[in-house]
Amino acid sequence: MSKILRVNMTDLTARYQDVPEKYKLMGARWLTSSIVSDEVEPTCHPLGPTNKLVFAPGIVTGTAAPTSARISVGSKSPLTGTIKESNAGTKFSPMLAKLGIKAVVVEGQPKEGMWYLLEVNKDGARLLPATDLAGKGAYATTDALIGRYGKVGVCCIGPAGEMKMAMAGVCFNDLSDRASRYSGRGGLGAVMGTKGLKAIVVDDKDGPGVTIANQELFGQGCKKLTEALQTHDITKPKGALNTYGTAVLINILNEAGGLPTRNFASGTFEGAPKIAGEAIFEGNKQRLGKELYNHACSPGCIIQCSNTWHNPDGSEQVSCQEYESVWAFGANCGIDDLDVTGELIRISNDLGVDTIESGGTIAVAMEGGLAKFGDGQKAIELMQEIGKGTPLGRILGQGAAFTGRALGVIRVPGVKGQNMPAYSPRAVKGIGVTYMTSTQGADHTIGYTIAPEILSVGGKADPLSPEGKAELSRNFQIATAFLDSTGYCLFIAFAILDIPKGFEGMVQSCAAVLGTNWTADDVTRIGKEILRKERAFNEAAGFTRVDDRPPEFMRYEALPPHNKVWDIPSKALDSVWDF
């Protein structure tokens, strides 16, 4: 029997409640967005006592479904002011699920300066003082808790979250207990900081496990999905992701002219090959004396796309240098050195900040004159400044938009206050439509690649036209909202968009766990429900269509090498929401 854990930080209690009927089929993003919608006042101050922080594993998390160990974290974002969900791959998630916990809702606020640890296991949940952990980086916090409790699931914030910085993320441990898996986007680490919650540990030993309503259907669904993952060129063993990780995209986007370079001033970076997936593979090979393929971030993942970068002496520097992080600190800052990007990522992981927003902030700081583009040493100093909590550090810790305002930089590539990820909208306009119209600010994982035909959602318009791009973005956002609720890693999409049986298997596995009869039509129905709920929250929070727009400079500044400006009409952007 599953339950919801309510943690009240005002009276320092942790108690279980039954799952209300309306939430029974939900998981991950569907559940976090529903609880936030139902219980958080959209106009509340995100750092105030009435905001809530919700953790939820996915529908199939904790079962034998492959690549399904994701956790969603939801709240009202201190960075964007919108509803927010961001997710991570981590053993923390299946451990919660196996204890029968559908969601953890953290509410209220303790006295300023008080820090707590939430301990969750088969016997229950309790809050303990965590004064000894306060001020520690995420690495030291995680190490201390693993030392104390054994190989449990660990969630924590770093100093950035304690200082309530708007780009603070929520850190989870990976399979090797590194502090490296992040619900990074949107400042949810700051919300956790306002709750005085430094860390959560979860131990699923002797837990009841996840109940599966239809074991036979579940087996069939998982088999189809597994086959798809194991045969597709992107997801298979020693395929694109297992060999090169997502950093393979650095060279690809560079050749597409869509790799945002030096604060989105260009779409190509001459130093791209030095920081791409191939360079990471080669560098590790030189330093370790052998080829190193990527590893799984979480239990049950068969894609295994996470890399580890090593120092010249063969010791580990950081996990991981994935596309978005390497790009943010690399091409976007004009830096072409993997040892520098590795150190910047390591500092980010330790401070507990989102690497995408951090890299974007450093790039804006460079444009604002605090460093020259390409100056890796200065970039490292600026990141360290954040950890010191100096006035400059606090400015930077608020993200790229705030930093831009402080420094008089107009060219801030963000939407709704969240900086853009590693695809340049002027070059890849379809992704730009998603950045601008998503419910959560500029976000690349919110509009994923599911072929419209699979979903039978139409796909009537010419993909070259603005209307076609809007339709594509809508379909992707709908499908992604569903996928974000399952607990599956979005990377399964690369296989299941090409292999219909894989998509079928994914839907079947979810239906089988819950005992429903879901088909592709339900994917669309549920995706739309989630998006409508999120949009309604945002509207009540004061957002209008005027917020679904590009940063102005992209309308008049032509981006080399294609020399295009952003010219998708506002009407087309608004049409994304015609459903």
Partner 1 sequence: MIEIYLYGKLRRFARDQDPTGYSVVHSIVQAGDTIQGVLKRLGIPMEEVGRNIFLNRQYSALTRRVKYGDRLAVFPDNMQLLYSWYFVKVGEDHEVKKDKS
Residues that bind partner 1 (CB under 8 A): 233-234, 238-240, 243-244, 246, 248-249, 251-252, 255-257, 267-268, 273-274, 276-279, 281-283, 423, 428, 430-431, 444, 448-449, 451, 458-464, 472, 476, 491, 494, 497, 561-562
- Work out how close the CB of 478 gets to partner 1 at its nearest, in angstroms, rounded to a whole number: 14
Residue placing its CB nearer to partner 1 in the complex, 36 or 451: 451
Query: Which of residues 299 and 430 has its CB atom nearest to partner 1 in the complex?
Result: 430
For residues 138, 140, 141, 144, the Cα torsion angle rounded to the nearest 10 degrees is: 160
Give the residue among 459, 460, 473 at the shortest CA–CA distance from 430: 473
Closest CB to partner 1 among residues 278, 574: 278
Smallest distance, partner 1 to C-beta of residue 369, A: 31
Peptide bond before 333: cis, by omega within 30 degrees of 0? no
User: Considering the complex, what minimum distance in angstroms separates the CB of residue 146 from partner 1?
Assistant: 32
Query: What 3-state DSSP class applies to 168?
Result: strand
Between residues 284 and 440, which has the closer beta carbon with respect to partner 1? 284
Give the C-alpha separation, 530 to 23, whole Å: 12
Distance (Å, whole) CA 411 – CA 20: 46
Task: Give the nearest distance from C-beta 453 to partner 1 in angstroms.
Answer: 10
CB of 280 to partner 1, least distance (A): 9
Omega before residue 561 within 30° of 0, cis:
yes
CB of residue 182 vs partner 1: minimum separation in angstroms?
19
Identify which of 21, 99, 22 has the alpha carbon closest to the alpha carbon of residue 57.
Answer: 99
Q: How many CB atoms lie within 10 A of CB 246?
A: 23
- Decide whether 1 or 464 has the Cβ nearer to partner 1: 464
CB of 155 to partner 1, least distance (A): 27
- Supply angle C-alpha 449, 237, 85, rounded to 5: 40
The maximal CA–CA distance of the chain, rounded, in angstroms, is 62
Give every CB contact of residue 57 below 8 A, 6+ residues apart in sequence. Answer: 27, 28, 70, 71, 72, 93, 94, 96, 97, 101, 102, 487
Query: Looking at beta carbons only, is 472 or 510 nearer to partner 1?
Result: 472
Count of residues in the chain? 579
CA atoms of 332 and 260, how far apart (whole Å): 6
The distance of closest approach from Cβ of residue 383 to partner 1 in the complex, given in angstroms and rounded to an integer, is: 24
Q: Which is nearer to partner 1, 351 or 479 (CB)?
A: 479
Sign of the CA dihedral with 350 first, then 356, 361, and 363 last: positive
Residue 243 or 317: the one with the smaller Cβ distance to partner 1 is 243
- DSSP label at residue 353: B
The nearer residue to partner 1, 64 or 252, going by C-beta atoms, is 252
User: What's the min distance (Å) between Cβ of 428 and partner 1?
Assistant: 5
